Structure 1
């Protein structure tokens, strides 16, 4: 039963896409494992929804009948589910739209006012899923059974445009990578509408000829598809990108995607609905989603753009072509071969990124009853656990509880300790593997309204099967499909398991949330973390930082790795049986700055930075570059070296040797032009002043821009290039002294806990104002300040 809750119960193999219509028609495309043959099934299902009451359907009279009497055409049937849940009536009809219309008509009569959408009834009165999810939930089917990731037919395409505004700019080139790995470009043979229309027509033809299961690109939903849709509409080109001549691009709601130009009820008047595109028979995957998900857990990426991520992950070759995005069309007119290489490199890297980071979403689609493309951008709690729980309850014929807003009890939050700040040496990290899910299992802590115990059963199954998948991955050959599949499965299961605690605490957002259960998990977690820290301290180590992910500590001089591992093993043996403490690495030195903000110097390898104090997408690149160089000196004990780095950076700024892009901050615009102008007289903000100063009459919320402080209190704006090869060509009109102050007050301040006050002042004295009495740094050393000791447990009553 628990395996059915996790994996579904229909073992149909090879499903690569599902498309369902509200009228009960479903189309299922399957790729036969091993042979690769594609088949399509046309099936019927009865659309359904859940209601708390049948009152709004009473007006149907004899057309409403119990499911037990059997279904017949034009009849709406109901089944009362078991148990105390609020959503207890499973209602089915021949057509989903007609079914919803009947409910809305009844609700309008009952309330004496028009009710136009099911969401207006509230999550506690009804639940209506998209047609595909209705089909998958009741059929017990899931995607990709018995298929490996590499058995999917995946293609990538990337647009090159004359500008960023589809109302005024064109597509002049499309790069494509076929499912077989071949790359090519399609190009407009002219500068008029007919040439662009012909290019889009050939793109559609290529998609239909290659017949991929999946179409991928980086920022596919943020740029390529919205731009393509606008240009196709303008040109009158049918974007029949789906299978079997089915309709073209359709919208689906999404938190991140194209702005539709329609207001969001209850939001500010300028807030626009956001949506993604979808097509029948193919899954549209944006690799930016996988990058964001990866960086949320690792926090190790230098940015989220394709070029930066590909370079960081080793996907970019040494011959990779770079052209600033704003100059691609200009370069194409003089050197088209260079742009062709550049565009082909883009789709090649997008394909590599999808394979390297996309395995988790692929594995999630084997579990959860949702389309693959929706799971690729879904949150683990509401996007994965909620569908699993709904399917499990309906499988058991059990009523679902209503959302609860809570009783006012606040969520106590996770345990987090900073024991010391400054620089420590001989560092060990001990990892607590999935602490909160482990405690949920150990003490059987689950939501009180989950009377079937589904959430805990899922966590149990996922933890056990994840360990099995990790074992299979280790046993498989490096680079083999078996290793890739099992590593992806393990990553997906870890993602869902670790979201279970957050699911408990998300009061009002998840159907089975329970703040009291979440607080009990937190209480047990504090107790375990306290025990762990006390026992480590009793063994002579210096604690630095501890949270639910693990503990960093410094060991005495003379200890070898065998001593470090012994201490971790001794403490691990004292913890509850399901809580696992593991040796997770050793480092030469660590700067402990603030909780979850630190720098690590491995015994071999590059510096590791964690936390927004050291890594932020908004930080100016020159400052982050200074920090990296200064931290390397600091962790090596070279205080004079920090001074040298600081002086060289200040002098480079004052001589304007720093390229302008290096002083730019990358920010996301969260106000429209009208919203900013309404507050401008009270507070001026650099990003919006830069937009106005550069003649920008309007801009979409969510747009990212690069801005800087220019001379004369002006606001400077730079375009968002794909690469800064032409950085030297930008005018260096930045406000030098502003950035010198920023260097000292923002970036150098990250080192304040690592140096004695006098040494800090000496290191960061203004090099333009030398003193006759400057103290020597010859004997200066980094410092470590112990802030607190592990708390002793409260005495038992």
Structure 2
């Protein structure tokens, strides 16, 4: 039966409330909620900032009231008004009995938590200090999330990204570690035309610089404070140096706490999730563009590094006049050319602004949907960090109980069978096409209405459908607007944000014990149908004589005849897509001049304009020595072009440069992230020595910390040498506060080697690095050649063998489609 217009409108309104909240309060740029039940809200209205304070009732979701029964009449339902003092009220939510069916709340969070703990201590007969120790009978979120979920409000309603007042600042320091260095310069700019560089030429000037920075932030009063590696370097370094001078970092907004606060968190972006210190301040959102870069590379997997300069070049936002100075030489350059270093520092913050405009539009749009602070959404995982808060808010709005056993049951059911992954051929293919089933898993969920059984209201599927429709609307709108006008940017950002959520829906449903609305069986049904779709696509390509290379749920790579045009390629994809079920779209993703297929999800692509894309850890490594990376990229490109002489020349050139010591220590240094404390390493050192830690000890360093990234190289006397690299990603020690309090900061050696001295050394172990060249870099080309050809090309002694082929006879291991054979 067709629905009436009223029913359709009502359904759309409900879906929009699920997705965007329901309170129309405009222009929220920050919320600072506290455990005492007060929340400060800052709004940008007509370009001006206003703030007000509200009372809210902190809450917790519970499966029962048994731990609160001891309160007697001090515990009452929300709609009763019995005489006497009420400490805790509750609202019974609709749903199964064994669920989070009680919303309990109080005037302040400490009162609520203590009341629950007192009852749980009596029931469990053991001491307890937090609700987390009770088990999974309680579900809670942060205080800002509680406020936003309860009010239906979100950030930035009615705003565009350019409406935000964003300020960037960047520190220049004499060393990376505040034990050894200080701040000698800070560059500040904002998106309203303000620029300033503060100097501290002498150590005694540092305290004045820090105080002045705080004053400028208060005077400029930005909504957002940004920098690249803000949490990993600038804020901890600033905090530690301020502490050394006894300065309070008052950079917050009036109306709330002015002082910078910090707490530990686990970074949930990318495969290298790790712990770090997180910072927050009332009234302003703190954004680290390094988080946005990691998120971007987690999708594209082709960024050369995460350093600001490389990233700026990657995105094309680096100015041709940009000043470049080696990190270790910045302070020395400042002594003789301070104006040059000031320009260098301003170029840094200018590029941060460019990164923000390029990458933060999607998190800005997400903040208009999810009930979380903008600064948290910029680094949050899209499933647990964004989708789940939206689902929880929707259930609370409907007065519905949240599922309790679903996640546990999903975990007990075990892992469901995942998507199909195929490697059909290894070697080099020319004229490669990628076809992609657009958002395969979410499309299957929507087309066949596969959602979590525990989602009684159907919110996830409802959100998924609305997101898909709205994304297509924004995508179409962006395509009709000129790129030069800038009017397309909000549409581009919004559709990108929606794509993030759409693609997270399946992963959330299959997340097992992590997700409140998990359903492993439903996730398994999605992957089953996905495998069927992929098999259908592959069979169709085989029947048409295409050379299959690799396939998974992200798409399929295949080679086409060399004389095919892009129109023929598109027609092929369109014909195969037309045979798929309604709602499933096969899209033409792109074409490449050549591809090296190394192993599953590890490949190199050569674009028709000469660009090289390297994907997968088998061909890329965070430990990479620069000399090897340069060789590998050059050799890869030659191999993909079929230029075997070029491959041989790249290799022999690198061998000769090593033998003639034309490389510097900086070219050869290996970069690693430390995982052990000094104490932990000393326990294992006698039986298992590790080069990274030995390099530090050899340099006289006895203090380091997990998470620190260092570089070292192997010298000709077989010792490992630490290269004190002034990089942009080095974190600051979390124990600095304790070291300052106890006076132990002075124990750090002052005679440590300087980066500039070590970086230019040429005393490396030549034979060691020749071995590294072959086993770590040339070996990544092994799948491109037949074994005998590979051995001939990458022989260290370069002496011709009796049975060597003429170089012009050597060919890559070609992958051809049947029409070429």
| Fold match by TM threshold 0.5 | yes
Match of 2:192 among 159, 170, 180: 180
Equivalent residue number for residue 115 of structure 2: 102
Deviations 1:367-388 (A, max 9, x none): 0000000111111111001101
Equivalent residue number for residue 268 of structure 1: none
Q: 1:273 to 1:113 in 2, by over 3 A?
A: farther
Are the aligned partners of 1:310 and 1:353 in contact in 2 as well (CA < 8 Å)? yes
Residue 603 of structure 2 aligns to a residue whose secondary structure is strand
Cα distance, 1:727 vs structure 2: 9.4
Match of 1:357 among 356, 359, 382: 359
Cα distance, 1:273 vs structure 2: 7.0
Are the aligned partners of 1:324 and 1:725 in contact in 2 as well (CA < 8 Å)? no
Equivalent residue number for residue 504 of structure 2: 499
Equivalent residue number for residue 467 of structure 1: 472
How far apart are the structure 1 equivalents of 2:67 and 2:275? Answer: 29
Deviations 1:219-272 (A, max 9, x none): 111111112122222322221111116320122442149xxxxxxxxxxxxx99
Equivalent residue number for residue 812 of structure 2: 782
Q: 647-656 or 741-750: which moved more?
A: 741-750
Equivalent residue number for residue 404 of structure 1: 408
Equivalent residue number for residue 149 of structure 2: 137
1:22 equivalent in alignment to 2:35 = yes
Cα distance, 1:719 vs structure 2: 2.2
Match of 2:166 among 147, 154, 164: 154
How far apart are the structure 2 equivalents of 1:336 and 1:515? Answer: 61
Q: 1:480 to 1:117 in 2, by over 3 A?
A: farther
How far apart are the structure 2 equivalents of 1:772 and 1:726? Answer: 47
Residue 321 of structure 1 aligns to a residue whose secondary structure is coil
Residue 100 of structure 2 aligns to a residue whose secondary structure is coil
Residue 424 of structure 1 aligns to a residue whose secondary structure is strand
Are the aligned partners of 2:436 and 2:554 in contact in 1 as well (CA < 8 Å)? yes
Match of 1:39 among 23, 47, 50: 50
Equivalent residue number for residue 733 of structure 1: 763
Equivalent residue number for residue 260 of structure 1: none
Match of 1:436 among 438, 441, 451: 441
Q: 637-646 or 721-730: which moved more?
A: 721-730
Are the aligned partners of 2:635 and 2:647 in contact in 1 as well (CA < 8 Å)? yes
How far apart are the structure 1 equivalents of 2:107 and 2:59? Answer: 9
How far apart are the structure 1 equivalents of 2:68 and 2:715? Answer: 65
How far apart are the structure 1 equivalents of 2:81 and 2:431? Answer: 72
How far apart are the structure 1 equivalents of 2:264 and 2:677? Answer: 21
Residue 589 of structure 1 aligns to a residue whose secondary structure is strand
Are the aligned partners of 1:179 and 1:212 in contact in 2 as well (CA < 8 Å)? no
Are the aligned partners of 2:252 and 2:284 in contact in 1 as well (CA < 8 Å)? yes
How far apart are the structure 1 equivalents of 2:51 and 2:240? Answer: 31
How far apart are the structure 2 equivalents of 1:722 and 1:323? Answer: 12
How far apart are the structure 2 equivalents of 1:382 and 1:422? Answer: 39
How far apart are the structure 2 equivalents of 1:207 and 1:595? Answer: 49
1:446 equivalent in alignment to 2:476 = no
Equivalent residue number for residue 228 of structure 2: 218
Residue 238 of structure 1 aligns to a residue whose secondary structure is coil
How far apart are the structure 2 equivalents of 1:660 and 1:412? Answer: 48
The alignment of Structure 1 onto Structure 2 pairs a total of residues equal to: 770
Equivalent residue number for residue 324 of structure 1: 326
Please provide the CA RMSD for this pair.
2.2
Q: 1:304 to 1:647 in 2, by over 3 A?
A: same
Gaps of 5+ in 1: 258-270, 789-797
TM-score (norm 2): 0.90
1:692 equivalent in alignment to 2:697 = yes
How far apart are the structure 2 equivalents of 1:565 and 1:455? Answer: 34
Q: 1:90 to 1:352 in 2, by over 3 A?
A: same
Cα distance, 1:59 vs structure 2: 2.0
How far apart are the structure 2 equivalents of 1:602 and 1:644? Answer: 22
How far apart are the structure 2 equivalents of 1:777 and 1:168? Answer: 54
Equivalent residue number for residue 792 of structure 1: none
Equivalent residue number for residue 299 of structure 1: 301
Residue 595 of structure 2 aligns to a residue whose secondary structure is strand
Are the aligned partners of 1:420 and 1:784 in contact in 2 as well (CA < 8 Å)? no
Gaps of 5+ in 2: 1-13, 729-753
Are the aligned partners of 1:630 and 1:645 in contact in 2 as well (CA < 8 Å)? yes
Equivalent residue number for residue 743 of structure 2: none
Cα distance, 1:726 vs structure 2: 6.4
Q: 1:273 to 1:521 in 2, by over 3 A?
A: closer
Equivalent residue number for residue 492 of structure 2: 487
Are the aligned partners of 2:724 and 2:755 in contact in 1 as well (CA < 8 Å)? no
Are the aligned partners of 1:307 and 1:722 in contact in 2 as well (CA < 8 Å)? no
Cα distance, 1:722 vs structure 2: 4.4
Residue 136 of structure 1 aligns to a residue whose secondary structure is helix
Cα distance, 1:509 vs structure 2: 1.0
Match of 1:201 among 200, 208, 211: 211
Q: 351-360 or 273-282: which moved more?
A: 273-282
How far apart are the structure 1 equivalents of 2:763 and 2:71? Answer: 72
How far apart are the structure 1 equivalents of 2:61 and 2:608? Answer: 58
Cα distance, 1:502 vs structure 2: 1.4
Match of 1:60 among 57, 71, 92: 71
Q: 550-559 or 720-729: which moved more?
A: 720-729
